[in-house]
Amino acid sequence: ILDAMSGASTGTLQVTDPLNFWGGRRVAPRQQADAQDVFEPATGRVLCQLIPCKAEEVDEAMQSAHTAYLKWSKMSGMERARVMLEAARIIRERREAISKLEVINNGKSITEALADIDFSWQCVEYYAGLAGTLAGQHIQLPSGAFAYTRREALGVCAGIGAFNYPFQIAVVKSAPALACGNAMVFKPSPMTPVTAVILAEIYKEAGAPDGLFCVVQGGPETGTLLCQHPMVAKVSFTGSVPTGKKIMEMSAKGVKPVTLELGGKSPLIIFKDCELENAIKGALMANFLTQGQVCCNGTRVFVQREIMPKFLEEVVKRTKAIPVGDPLLDATRMGALISKPQLDKALGFVSQAKKEGAKVLCGGEPFTPSDPNLAGGYYMSPCVLDSCRDDMTCVKEEIFGPVMSVLAFDTEEEVLQRANSTTFGLASGVFTRDISRAHRVAENLQAGTCFINNYNVSPVEVPFGGYKNSGFGRENGQVTIEYYSQLKTVVVEMGDVESLF
């Protein structure tokens, strides 16, 4: 399918290849029941059929992954690293074709998709680098006795992904898992089933044993089968808070560890002493990437009252100028939302905000690009809401669309209290020139990440994850090794046994 990408344009691709992968090959669904349409967001056209895996198919994938795990976990870290480095090289070599396919299935702009795929090969490369460094500790005990620790794989891990970063999420979960000697069975979102299987093919081509990274397609039922499978050693989930709670409940029954990367309603605080040009750019980056469908977006923008008029004037001017349209065109900066229901939901939040007293300064409406080919796509004009209050629905709930809610504040103490007054805790941001204030605010914000004088900067070597209802566990960075491995302690006696009995 990647070969077809060079000539592909919006509205032309039809995906007919099987989208499941185990045993080292694509696997066609065993039956056609419960088939559902997968849409191309840019046009609203049907791109392919999604046929959910049933229990027997999930079991086959698990068995295949387990066979691979037995082999892979016995290889040295350096041997695993060589395979992963080759996989990284292939992803980099095919970055343009993978990005195009991602755009066609997801609707985000090609500029963003290229950045996502570049992040992906860097992620595989990074964890390949760590694979050879995994080591335990040696601990001296009295009389020559000693103990050592071994960092061991967990087994077959389940990965379940959201729709907003389809290929990247599959990579962010599989790269550390594989580096530690695990295998993975991954289930993409049923709305974006097309690119995870490309990753599976690349791992195979790079030399991974058959079954090391398997893909099963489906929605909640398939996800449930995966979580409840007795061979699953760990579940790593990216998605909404309500689904995350269900995953945790299912995992608790088998005492399985979980990583939960969930939603957010992150605060971005802009003080009057900021470098305003950077703060404006930061607010746009905090709200409009991937059509606003980003978990860590800073969607509650708190602006100190004195600079509010200037901030709003500039932010609205630049929001109105965002080119919305065909996501495969280089000049486009905002493509289509993932689905009609997601578009309606985001528009619904804007209507509700108006009813509750917010002022729409721009956007918040369905958008029809001039190209007739795109008439059925899920486009929305990016929106800035002014005069927001903390009790409004648009300020309390995750919208997952291009909607920025702007709130005025007066003092640092007040804004910290308001920023933390949420059950979410994924990310946060602060713009100020006062370095003491910046670090004080970062310390006091209840969130897994705080960006100072920028927003949504998340390179692979930097840990990412939530506080509170936004989840736990971390992805990216060295620390993620802890979440895909377990420690065994070996105690060695060098003398005689001293027995009390």
Ligand X SMILES: C[N+](C)(C)CCCC=O
Ligand Y SMILES: NC(=O)c1ccc[n+]([C@@H]2O[C@H](COP(=O)([O-])OP(=O)(O)OC[C@H]3O[C@@H](n4cnc5c(N)ncnc54)[C@H](O)[C@@H]3O)[C@@H](O)[C@H]2O)c1
Q: Is 96 left (phi over 0), alpha (psi -120 to 50) or beta?
A: alpha
Judged by CB under 6 A, the stretch of 7-15, 22-30, 95-103, 291-299 that binds ligand X is 291-299
Q: What is the 3-state secondary structure (H, E, C) of 2-13?
A: CHHHHHCCCCCC
Residue choice 114, 171, 199, 294 for contact with ligand X (CB under 6 A): 294
Residue 420 interacts with ligand X (CB under 6 A): yes or no: no
Number of residues lying near ligand Y (CB under 6 A)? 29
Say how many C-beta atoms besides its own lie within 10 A of residue 387's C-beta.
16
* Residue 279 burial class via C-beta count within 10 angstroms: exposed 0-12, middle 13-18, buried 19 and up: buried
Residue 348 interacts with ligand Y (CB under 6 A): yes or no: no
The answer to whether 42 and 377 have CB atoms below 8 angstroms apart is: yes
Residue list 212-251, contact with ligand Y (CB under 6 A) = 219-220, 223-224, 227, 238-240, 243, 246-247
Say how many C-beta atoms besides its own lie within 10 A of residue 17's C-beta.
10
Which of ligand Y, ligand X, none sits in contact with 289, Cβ below 5 to 8 A by type?
ligand X
The DSSP string of 33-51 is: TT-EEEEETTTTEEEEEE-
Residue choice 202, 262, 289, 328 for contact with ligand X (CB under 6 A): 289
Q: Which residues, 6+ apart, have CB-to-CB distance to 50 below 8 Å?
A: 19, 35, 36, 37, 38, 190, 193, 217, 218, 219
Which of ligand X, ligand Y, none sits in contact with 398, Cβ below 5 to 8 A by type?
ligand Y
d(C-alpha 21, C-alpha 415), whole Å: 49
Which of ligand X, ligand Y, none sits in contact with 240, Cβ below 5 to 8 A by type?
ligand Y
Q: Is the Cα dihedral 259, 263, 269, 270 positive or negative?
A: positive
The DSSP string of 444-489 is: HS-SSEEEESS-S---TTS-B--SGGGEES-BSSTTHHHHTEEEEE
The answer to whether 328 and 110 have CB atoms below 8 angstroms apart is: yes
Min separation Cβ 160 and ligand Y, Å: 5
Residue 164 interacts with ligand X (CB under 6 A): yes or no: yes
Residue 259 interacts with ligand Y (CB under 6 A): yes or no: no
The answer to whether 456 and 289 have CB atoms below 8 angstroms apart is: yes
Min separation Cβ 180 and ligand X, Å: 22
Residue 454 interacts with ligand X (CB under 6 A): yes or no: no
Which of ligand X, ligand Y, none sits in contact with 224, Cβ below 5 to 8 A by type?
ligand Y
Min separation Cβ 82 and ligand Y, Å: 29
Residue list 182-201, contact with ligand Y (CB under 6 A) = 187, 189-190
Min separation Cβ 449 and ligand Y, Å: 10
Asked about 261 being catalytic, the answer comes back as yes
Residue 173 interacts with ligand Y (CB under 6 A): yes or no: no
Residue 171 interacts with ligand Y (CB under 6 A): yes or no: no
Residue 165 interacts with ligand X (CB under 6 A): yes or no: yes
Residue 458 interacts with ligand X (CB under 6 A): yes or no: yes
The answer to whether 150 and 94 have CB atoms below 8 angstroms apart is: no
d(C-alpha 63, C-alpha 54), whole Å: 14
Residue 184 interacts with ligand X (CB under 6 A): yes or no: no
Q: What is the DSSP letter of 357?
A: T
Min separation Cβ 300 and ligand X, Å: 16
Residue with tokens 């755009």: 103
Residue choice 217, 236, 332, 456 for contact with ligand X (CB under 6 A): 456
Contacting residues toward ligand X, per CB under 6 A: 164-165, 289, 294-296, 456, 458
Contacting residues toward ligand Y, per CB under 6 A: 160-164, 187, 189-190, 219-220, 223-224, 227, 238-240, 243, 246-247, 261-264, 295, 398, 400, 426, 466, 471
Active-site annotation, residues: 261
